[in-house]
Amino acid sequence: MHKINILINAGRFFMLIVMRKDATPQQIENVIAAIEAKGYKARPIPGGERVSIAVLFNQGPVDADLFEGLAGVKEAIPVTRPYKLVSRETKADTTLIQINQVCIGGSSLVIIAGPCAVESEKQAMTIAEHVKKSGGDMFRGGAFKPRTSPYTFQGLGEQGLKILAKVRETFGLPVVTEVMDLSHFDMVEDYADVIQIGTRNMQNFSLLRRAGESRRPVLLKRGMSATLEEWFMAAEYIMAEGNPNVVLCERGVRTFARHSRNTLDLSAVPVVRRETHLPIIIDPSHAAGYRDQVMPLSRAAAAAGAHGLMIEVHHEPEKATSDGAQSLLPDQFDVLCRQMRAIFQILQSGDNS
């Protein structure tokens, strides 16, 4: 009974003002001003056909009549999900995230690849050359590494970020790298094209809020024991601060299984696609923990409808400072790229709903 009441209240509190297709910019401005005059925050959400405006940070129910009478307003509807900016109820079209020439969420599968950690310029450049040659779209590599043990390699820090900038300059590959801590945020933001928030920080709310103020797209990994709702609410923190560009990344959750490092939850893909408008990519490397599982899991991820993959690749995995056992060799990555594109093509040509 209590739970039902909470859900009903959540539905009443979360309001979306849907503008008419022919609403003028002035009418949209007027609605925003009316929302702000009530002390709430207004967040316009451009859609394919029309603009909607979310009413945020209201502490109680919003009276729909207040807004439905305004010029240009089609209707004011409650959003029943607690993750309102993230929800497909708020935005019907899948969000497309443009990073230079790469588009995540659109009609091609985006492959992000690179080592677990940036170890040296030579290492990063060698791997980037393979990634580029095989048709990878973006480069990944950690400069700040979240390690279970404080005695293991922690990343090169700013030096690693500089190496990533050189990879981008040399190969034209946008770079994804992780930020672990608020004090490094400005620095990582200056170098990265996409900022990664790792599984261990999925509920680091100060970090999420700061990511919400960022001009960079954010790749938000699912916490290793997070429910989908907790994950979507973490994305909501980022979006509520004004950053609409969030990519969700499933990387395996912790279960009783011992045959793999984590258990890849591919059932998240259709649920993310149904419940949210955000793109979803799969990281089979951290899910598997072992190289031989990465290819089959990647094929399954592409077939399940992921918008992209993030893969660890290393040319000398036996010498890697971290995650060598799960890193593909460059030749394996090359095969993977060809297989993934073929699977994605089949889905594009048929009904993949």
Q: Which residues bind ligand PEP (CB under 6 A)?
A: 116, 142, 146, 178, 198-199, 221, 251, 283, 286
Give the shortest CB-178-to-ligand PEP separation in angstroms: 6
Give the shortest CB-129-to-ligand PEP separation in angstroms: 20
Distance separating alpha carbons of residues 126 and 330, to the nearest angstrom: 10
- Picked from ligand PEP, Mn ion, none, the partner binding residue 275 (CB below 5 to 8 A depending on kind) is none
**For ligand PEP, which is the closer residue by CB, 146 or 157?**
146
Based on C-alpha coordinates, what's the Rg of the chain? 21
Which tokens go with 267? 């059932």
**For ligand PEP, which is the closer residue by CB, 123 or 199?**
199
Give the shortest CB-299-to-ligand PEP separation in angstroms: 20
- Picked from Mn ion, ligand PEP, none, the partner binding residue 114 (CB below 5 to 8 A depending on kind) is none
Per-residue binding string, Mn ion, 87-126, x by CB under 5 A, is: -----------------------------x----------
**For Mn ion, which is the closer residue by CB, 212 or 252?**
252
Nearest to 17 by CA among 31, 29, 7, 27: 31
Q: Which residues contact 91 (CB under 8 A, 6 or more apart)?
A: 45, 47, 52, 277
Q: Which residues contact 94 (CB under 8 A, 6 or more apart)?
A: 105, 273, 277, 278, 279
**For ligand PEP, which is the closer residue by CB, 90 or 326?**
326
**Residue 49 φ/ψ region, left for φ over 0, alpha for ψ in the -120 to 50 degree band, beta for the rest:** alpha
**For ligand PEP, which is the closer residue by CB, 199 or 327?**
199
Three-class SS state of 103: strand
**For ligand PEP, which is the closer residue by CB, 105 or 160?**
160
How many residues touch Mn ion under the rule CB under 5 A: the total is: 2
In the chain, beta strands by DSSP E: 15-19, 41-46, 51-56, 73-78, 97-99, 102-104, 110-114, 138-140, 175-178, 194-197, 218-221, 246-250, 280-282, 308-312
Lookup result for tokens 């993977």: 336
Give the shortest CB-312-to-Mn ion separation in angstroms: 6
- Picked from Mn ion, ligand PEP, none, the partner binding residue 157 (CB below 5 to 8 A depending on kind) is none
- Residue 323 as a binder of Mn ion (CB under 5 A): the answer is yes
Residue nearest to ligand PEP (CB): 198
Which tokens go with 325? 């056992």
Query: Using CB under 5 A as the criterion, which residues of the chain lie in contact with Mn ion when the complex forms?
Result: 116, 323
